[in-house]
A and B are shown apart, each in its own frame.
Chain A
Amino acid sequence: MGGTASSRHDGAMDNAVPLAELRNITVDYGPERVLDDVSFRLIPGEVHSLMGENGAGKSTLIKVLTGALKPSAGAIVVDGDRVVFGSPADALRRGISPVYQEIDLLPNLSVAENIFIGREPRKHGRIDWEQMRIRAAAQLADLGLTVEPSTLLGAHPVATQQLVAIARAISADVRILVLDEPTSSLDTDEVAELFRVIKELKQRGVAIVFISHFLDQVYEISDRITVLRDGRFVGEYLTNELLRVDLVAQMLGRELGATAVVRADIDVEDEALPVLEGDDLVTHGGLRGVSASLMAGEVLGVAGLRGSGRTALARAIAGIDRLEGGEVRLGGDKVNLANPRRALAEGIVYSSENRRVEGIIGELSVAENITLALQAQQGAVRRLTPARARELALSWIEALDIRPADPDRRAGDLSGGNQQKVMLARLLALAPRVVVLDEPTRGIDIGAKVEVQRLVGELADDGLAVMFISAELEEVLRSSHRVAILRDKKVVDILPSQALTIDTLLALVARPDDVED
């Protein structure tokens, strides 16, 4: 790419010819209309952000564009031709390449194959594995990723898998790249790499659909923004002509007001006895001597980079990973958390970062999902009556404002934010003492996010001890009383959140390892 090459696609041009257009798309799921007369257009060399709250219809619109879903009405126009996509393969042939929000790759195959499967390089009619490895390595290097292409994808962390998914999407002869929450599991450096690649693709005239709940990223990368609300088209704007406040107001359909700030600045009494204490915890490959304590009525934030031991700490406390050293005390007494069941019996509940894999059972109803853990704890003999289960579910649906407020709905049909609330309801139904939340707001929208953050605060107000783990430092700082900073599988410091700012926290979390030991 020549350094002097001035792009013709620098700014958004309203008279530019779109590469693809979705015209007046309507989608019905049974009796319910999830998209109503929505239009969306993609201009070569532009990043077009699709914004909206959970359930606004972004994912549905994306599925229409990528051929995964057939609209009930409306037209898809690519290069001026009206097209009908029967399957994702049809869309791929038109150069429309998606990266879905939940990572949809094949953990049982190699990294290289995940990038190329379906369009493998071939020689004499057979797959050329050597060529595939070489090209995969180049592709990965392009994304700043140093993984051996022949290793199994499943052996890599979620963030790497996410980048592999992106590598797959752009390795094709891509003309339209669809990125649905691509940055939710990436750290700052990885996001920078991704944005560099996006900019290169723009130069090549690729049109990019970008969906993210990080407003900063949206404003940094996109040229154009389309806002959806409740399945309807609200408007299309040029990014530099739309103020953030206005964007959020458009998305929510109301002024932000008080919902934006959740400040948990109530002091925890100094002499309060810790509910839970971890002392010098060591787990296999996860923690290297971590000590932390959790008071009743307190939210303890856990901040750290990916791989710093954030999740490992949660897993140790939840009894998932066995302790190789150290001890956990509950109310002063040493407990042996040999397995998650024991931890549950002690009143420790854990919400994992992989809610799709480890949490929500999509095939079961919302009510069943909520009462699942409670029923399991009671045992099969003391069955919850259906009426009791329903009543319980309804009370949680109301308390957490789960939408749609229908206990019989398939949990898999709910939006990400609402699934997260169902998870929370399930845990809270157990009447726990300690709640461990790992990335409870990952992949959900600002509106839902603020609600979850507020819920976390309320839990602590009700006297629970809450551990709140998040990759978003701002969120950690805002929601927690104290923040435990993890680096390199150890606790660096535990500080009251008032004593921290984003910048100081960032410095603590990300201090480069200039001091060798």
Chain B
Amino acid sequence: MTTQTSLAQPSRIAAVEAATQKFFVRHSAMLPTLAAVVILMLLFAGAELLLKGDFITPRNISALVLDNAYLLVLAVGMTFVILTAGIDLSVGSVMAFTGILGAKLLGDGLPPIVAIPAMLLGGAAIGLLIGILVQYFHVQPFIASLAGLFLGRGLAYVVSLSSIRVEDSATLWLQSTRFRLGEWYITPTGIIALLTVAVAAFVLHYTRFGRTIYAIGGNEQSAKLMGLRVASATVTAYVISGLCGGLAGLLLTAYSGAGYPRNGIGTELDAIAAVVIGGTLLTGGRGYVVGSMVGVFVYGTIKTIISFMGAEQSWMQIIVGALLLLFIVVQRLIVARSGAKS
């Protein structure tokens, strides 16, 4: 009997340990994303304490979605590219180009039914160009998309050197409509952004194309030998990123009521930061688009907290930098851990 009780304790601990280990092995792919959720919760809780219960309000949360809609869309596109172990530096410029292009077309009296597809196509075309360079000319994604960055920015300046106001009714509707539920509200731009996340999550999880994206990031050579359509999927990933750049251009133009060729300088880095914070590995093959959404919210929340506190905006960059470092280290540890198992 005595031996039984003395044995029972360690065995129970062992069982718990085994269960935890099993959990970690099974869900290791999700851990970085869960970590992002935890960080977001901590940020919320911290801000709530700091501002004495004045932070988690329907107004603030609603504004978080509104203010970051364009970044959310960019991060979605970026997730596709990073999952293939690529990178797209062009999206900030693409957003500026398509934004000013749309504003110009609308200003010239063209209807939104023409202007909006033109914006989306413009973004997709630059994405296609980068994708072709990467896939068929074996140009490093960094370099190919750097070319896209300059191209997009140059095209933006070609369209207009100064800001163009938008007074088109459809854009104004996007800008000013608020669907309300009590104190909560959401804008059409917010809905578009959240829909983009939902569609992307579906595509990545439930379609063969989506799984091919993961396969490419895991091992491109293996993916080819397994008979997957690697070439078309890679190019499509960049087209999606460009398309998201175009859509973000639309959202930003609607949000700010104008197109401006200097918009989005460095925004591609914000998008990359959000994706990485959201738990997608820069080496590809692991991550979730929902994680990227959480990453964008982390990013937006830090921004909000800092402006609430009236601190210098430069703190924003320091904190995001520190968070990025932290996440990259965490990811390394997770990869090392799961690597040691095999």
Contacts and interface: CB of A to CB of B under 8 A. Distances in A.
B341 A88 contact: no
B137 interface: no
A327 to B, nearest CB: 23
A151 interface: yes
B342 A92 contact: no
A209 to B, nearest CB: 16
A451 interface: no
Given A108-B214, A151-B25, A158 B225 contact: no
Given A107-B342, A126-B207, A89 B227 contact: yes
Contacts of A113: 211
Given A87-B224, A120-B211, 20 more contacts: A87-B227, A88-B225, A88-B226, A88-B227, A89-B227, A98-B225, A100-B225, A104-B219, A105-B219, A106-B226, A108-B217, A108-B286, A117-B211, A118-B212, A127-B205, A148-B26, A151-B26, A152-B26, A154-B339, A161-B342
6 contacts: A88-B224, A89-B229, A106-B226, A108-B29, A117-B215, A127-B208
A141 interface: no
Interface string B316-342: 000000000000000000000011011
B285 interface: yes
A88 B223 CA distance: 10
The 5 closest A-B pairs by CB, nearest first: A89-B227, A106-B218, A108-B285, A126-B206, A108-B218
Nearest to A91: B227
A155 B342 contact: yes
B135 interface: no
Nearest to A154: B342
A235 interface: no
A253 interface: no
Interface of A: 68, 87-89, 92, 98, 100, 104-109, 113, 117-118, 120, 126-127, 148, 150-152, 154-158, 161, 168
B172 to A, nearest CB: 37
B211 A68 contact: no
B285 A118 contact: no
B287 to A, nearest CB: 10
Nearest to A168: B226
B338 A154 contact: yes
A105 B223 CA distance: 8
B338 A152 contact: yes
A158 B339 CA distance: 12
A68 B225 CA distance: 7
B224 A155 contact: no
A92 B227 contact: yes
B228 interface: yes
B304 interface: no
B278 to A, nearest CB: 17
Given A154-B338, A156-B342, A106 B222 contact: yes
Contacts of A161: 342
Contacts of A92: 227
Contacts of B285: 106, 108-109
Contacts of B219: 104-107
Nearest to A107: B218
Contacts of A157: 342
B28 A155 contact: yes
Contacts of A156: 341-342
A118 B226 contact: yes
B221 interface: yes
Contacts of A98: 225
Contacts of A88: 224-227
A126 B224 CA distance: 22
Contacts of A126: 202, 206-207
B208 A118 contact: yes
Interface string B216-260: 011101111111110000000000000000000000000000000
Among A88, A100, A158, chain B packs the most CB atoms within 10 A around the CB of: A88
B218 A109 contact: yes
A113 B212 CA distance: 11
Nearest to B284: A108
A286 to B, nearest CB: 10
A321 to B, nearest CB: 9
A151 B29 CA distance: 10
Nearest to B221: A104
Contacts of B212: 117-118
A151 B26 CA distance: 5
A100 B28 CA distance: 27
Contacts of A152: 25-26, 28-29, 338
Nearest to B202: A126
Contacts of B221: 104
B28 A127 contact: no
Contacts of B224: 87-88
A254 to B, nearest CB: 35
Contacts of B202: 126
B211 A127 contact: yes
B211 A104 contact: no
B20 to A, nearest CB: 15
A88 B228 CA distance: 9
B206 A127 contact: yes
B228 A117 contact: yes
Contacts of B205: 127
A150 B26 contact: yes
A110 to B, nearest CB: 9
Nearest to B24: A155
Contacts of B342: 107, 154-158, 161
Interface string B188-208: 000000000000001001111
Contacts of A89: 227-229
Contacts of B227: 87-89, 92, 118
A435 to B, nearest CB: 24
A373 B51 CA distance: 57
B286 to A, nearest CB: 5
A127 B229 CA distance: 17
A67 to B, nearest CB: 9
A107 B228 CA distance: 16
Contacts of A100: 225
A89 B232 CA distance: 14
Interface in B276-294: 285-286
Contacts of B217: 108
A106 B219 CA distance: 6
A319 to B, nearest CB: 15
B338 A155 contact: yes
Given A152-B338, A158-B342, A127 B207 contact: yes
